[in-house]
Amino acid sequence: MKTEILAGEHAVAIRHAADVLNHGGLVAFPTDTVYGLAAIPFHSEMVEGLFAVKGRVNTKAIAVLVGDIAQVERVAIKMTGTPLCLAERFWPGPLTLVVPGKEDLPDILSQDHSVGVRMPDHPLALALLREVGPLAVTSANLSGQENATTAQEVLAQLGGRIHLILDGGRAPGRVPSTVVDCCGPELKLLREGPISLDQLKEALK
Cβ–Cβ under 8 Å, residues 130 and 20:
no
> Could you read off the pLDDT of 68-127 as tens digits, one per residue?
999 999 999 988 899 999 999 999 999 999 999 998 899 888 778 899 999 999 999 999
Average pLDDT on 50-68 reads 88
Which structural domain, as residue segments, surrounds residue 126? 4-203
Average pLDDT on 151-178 reads 96
Using DSSP bridges, classify how beta strands 114-118 and 63-65 pair: parallel, antiparallel or unpaired: parallel
Angle, helices 13-22/123-132, rounded to nearest 10 degrees: 50
> Could you read off the pLDDT of 180-201 as tens digits, one per residue?
999 998 999 999 999 999 999 9
> Could you read off the pLDDT of 131-151 as tens digits, one per residue?
999 999 999 999 999 999 999
Rounded CA gap, 8 and 30, in Å? 9
Look at residue 135 in the predicted model and tell me its pLDDT: 98
Number of domains in the chain: 1
- Model confidence at 58: pLDDT above 80: no
Using DSSP bridges, classify how beta strands 63-65 and 135-139 pair: parallel, antiparallel or unpaired: antiparallel
CATH code of residue 21:
3.90.870.10
Q: What is the mean pLDDT of the chain?
A: 94
Question: Which of the four pLDDT bands, split at 50, 70 and 90, describes residue 174?
Answer: confident
Q: Which one-letter DSSP state was computed for residue 79?
A: -
Look at residue 26 in the predicted model and tell me its pLDDT: 98
Closest CA to 178 of 169, 190, 186, 170: 190
Cα dihedral 22→130→50→181 (10° resolution): -140
* Cis amide linkage into residue 185, ω under 30° from 0: no
- Model confidence at 59: pLDDT above 70: no
